[in-house]
Amino acid sequence: MISGERLIQEFMELVRIDSETGNERQIADVLKEKFSALGLTAAEDDSQERTGHGAGNLLVTWPAVDGASAPKLLFTCHMDTVVPGQNIQPSLGEDGWITSDGSTILGADDKAGLAALFEAIRVIQEQKLPHGQLQFVITAGEESGLLGARSMNPDLLDADFGFALDSNGEVGAIAVAAPAQAKVKMQIFGKSAHAGVNPEDGISAIQVASKAISAMKLGRIDSETTANIGKFAGGGPTNVVCDYVQLDAEARSIVQNKVELQISSMREALETTAREYGAQSEFQSEIIYPAFSFTEHDPVVQLADRAISSLGLTTRLFHSGGGSDANVFNGHKVPTVNLAIGYEHIHTTKERIKAEDIVKVAELVIAIVKESVKG
State the CB neighbour count (10 A cutoff) for residue 85. Answer: 21
Say what percent of the chain tops pLDDT 70: 99
**Catalytic site includes residue 155:** no
Q: Is the pTM of the predicted complex or chain greater than 0.75?
A: yes
**Sign of the alpha-carbon dihedral angle for 185, 190, 194, 200:** negative
**Total number of residues shown for the chain:** 375
Q: What is the pLDDT of residues 80-126, one digit of tens each?
A: 999 999 999 999 999 999 999 999 999 999 999 999 999 999 999 99
Q: Per-residue pLDDT averaged across 186-211, rounded?
A: 98
pLDDT at 62 over 70: yes
Final residue belonging to a domain, choices 270, 289, 308: 289
Encode 337-371: b = buried (16+ Cβ within 10 Å), e = exposed. Answer: bbbbbbbbbbeeeebbbbbebbbbbbbbbbbbbbb
- Structural domain boundaries enclosing 140: 4-178+291-374
**Catalytic site includes residue 80:** yes
What is the structure's pLDDT at 69? 80
Which of these ranges, 61-70, 120-129, 153-162, 220-229, has the smallest mean pLDDT? Answer: 61-70
164 and 187 fall within a common domain: no
**Sign of the alpha-carbon dihedral angle for 331, 335, 336, 337:** positive
The active-site residue out of 142, 143, 243, 351 is 142
32 and 117 fall within a common domain: yes
pLDDT category of residue 66 using cuts at 50, 70 and 90: confident
Identify the CATH number of the domain in which residue 246 sits. 3.30.70.360
65 and 77 fall within a common domain: yes
The active-site residue out of 10, 45, 80, 110 is 80
Residue whose C-alpha is closest to residue 205's, from 279, 276, 284, 272: 279
Question: What's the structural domain count of the chain?
Answer: 2
Identify the CATH number of the domain in which residue 89 sits. 3.40.630.10
pLDDT at 68 over 70: no
318 and 331 fall within a common domain: yes
254 and 359 fall within a common domain: no
Question: Quick one: residue 151, left, alpha or beta (phi over 0 = left, psi -120 to 50 = alpha)?
Answer: alpha
CA dihedral 118, 120, 121, 127 (to 10 degrees): 140
**Sign of the alpha-carbon dihedral angle for 316, 321, 323, 328:** positive
- Give the amino acid at 118: F
161 and 37 fall within a common domain: yes
